[in-house]
Homo-oligomer: A and B are copies of this chain.
Amino acid sequence: MDEHDYRVGILGATGAVGQTFIRLLDDHPWFTVTSVAASERSAGRPYREAANWLSGQPIPPSVASLEVQSTEPEAMDCDVVFSALDSSVAGEIEEAFARAGVPVVSNAKNYRQHDRVPLLIPEVNPGHLALIDEQSWGDGGFIVTNPNCSTTGLICGLHPLMDAFDLEAVQVTMLQALSGAGYPGVPSLDAVGNVIPHIGGEEEKLATEPRKILGTLDGDRIEPAALTLSAQCTRVPVRNGHLACASVRFRDDIEAEAVADALRTFRAPAVTESLPSRPDPFVQVLDAPDAPQPQRHVEAGGGMTVSVGRVQDCPVNDVKFVLLSHNTVRGAAGGALLNAELLASEGYLDRARADAATEPAAG
């Protein structure tokens, strides 16, 4: 067996994020989907019948014929699970897999604020992986999470600025896509020709998650970053792509040109270089006066590159800009996949597999 050849299970495989995992994992060089699991309603049926497949691309044939399993460790024989579970059930199920010795790469929010669980963006805080060693579910299992979809994109733009300057505060208005609410999600009568200036829990996540991600690992804990972030979140009738209109304040004297340069010249850490899903560039800076736009730029880098435009001096704070990221790729399934690739590349998946081989089987 090649070093990077892992059997992957998908938890919550029939939902919108689960489907995106399956789409992105099709023909992946390191990962093969070998089992899919969903709620009792779907279990026992072939995936092609259980899933209301939303994408314009067909279901990868190797997955279409899989029988949907129940979300229990003993039902899934795999080296790592990707969790696309709803937060109402993710907490318990993910813990069960971790206790059974299975690495869990989760898109759910349940463990994002857990002291020992990395809230990971490989290009931003790969060092936070060390927290895994502090987890103690038993059997070598562990949990890694990626941030909320709106947080991820914004952080991708803010990290190069924190790296280069002393960032103090961020005021942001989010224009978020419909796919961020999952399926069925937002009723069409609320969406067509409308904007809803409220997304439950979103402004709170944007106030807290960035401070952990951008924080400093200090022994066995993360020291949150000294960054104040205030967000107003709206839902707009766009399918994919969260747009952030941000205005940032520095503790030093920084102008628009310096911000654009910092974004253009930022290089992701070397540890991410060999990851198959790593975008290049990490952030692209667009000069057109009307960029970025969801319809034109959301698929940049296969949905993994974040686009920034309209970088201008701001008379109220210091610099303002507009940032676009793909909420279901970079901000969800693609981000989680990149996390799994980092785990593989850094040996965490092999170590878990070795532990599992030497321990009595779970269940």
Interface residues of A (CB under 8 A from B): 53-57, 169-171, 173, 175, 178-179, 183-198, 207, 228-230, 232, 234, 236-239, 243, 245, 247, 249, 289-300, 309-310, 314-317, 320, 322
With contacts A56-B295, A320-B232 taken as known, whether A188 is within 8 angstroms of B192 at the C-beta atoms is: yes
Q: Which residue of B57, B187, B198 contacts A187 across the interface (Cβ within 8 Å)?
A: B187
Q: Which residue of B175, B184, B297 contacts A175 across the interface (Cβ within 8 Å)?
A: B175
- Report the 5 A-B pairs with minimum CB-CB distance, sorted nearest first: A184-B187, A173-B173, A188-B191, A198-B290, A230-B316
CB distance from A192 to the nearest CB of B (A): 5
CB distance from A258 to the nearest CB of B (A): 18
Copies per complex of this chain: 4
A184 to B237, CA, bound (A): 16
CB distance from A239 to the nearest CB of B (A): 6
Q: Which residue of B192, B300, B317 contacts A191 across the interface (Cβ within 8 Å)?
A: B192
B193 A294 Cβ-Cβ under 8 A? yes
Which B residues are CB-close (under 8 A) to A317? 171, 230, 316
Which B residues are CB-close (under 8 A) to A186? 187-188
A322 B197 Cβ-Cβ under 8 A? yes
Closest to A169 in B: B316
A239 to B238, CA, bound (A): 12
A243 B232 Cβ-Cβ under 8 A? no
Name, among A55, A179, A190, the residue most crowded by chain B CB atoms within 10 Å (CB to CB): A190
Closest to A243 in B: B195
Name, among A170, A179, A237, A295, the residue most crowded by chain B CB atoms within 10 Å (CB to CB): A295
A299 to B290, CA, bound (A): 27
Which B residues are CB-close (under 8 A) to A191? 188, 191-192
A309 to B183, CA, bound (A): 23
A247 B230 Cβ-Cβ under 8 A? yes
Which B residues are CB-close (under 8 A) to A310? 197-198, 232
Closest to A317 in B: B171
With contacts A188-B188, A198-B289, A289-B198 taken as known, whether A245 is within 8 angstroms of B295 at the C-beta atoms is: no
A243 to B196, CA, bound (A): 10
A197 B249 Cβ-Cβ under 8 A? no
B195 A299 Cβ-Cβ under 8 A? no
With contacts A245-B234, A249-B316, A316-B170 taken as known, whether A54 is within 8 angstroms of B189 at the C-beta atoms is: yes
Closest to A184 in B: B187
A108 to B186, CA, bound (A): 26
A245 to B26, CA, bound (A): 34
With contacts A198-B310, A207-B315, A316-B171 taken as known, whether A295 is within 8 angstroms of B232 at the C-beta atoms is: no
CB distance from A313 to the nearest CB of B (A): 9
B178 A192 Cβ-Cβ under 8 A? yes
CB distance from A80 to the nearest CB of B (A): 29
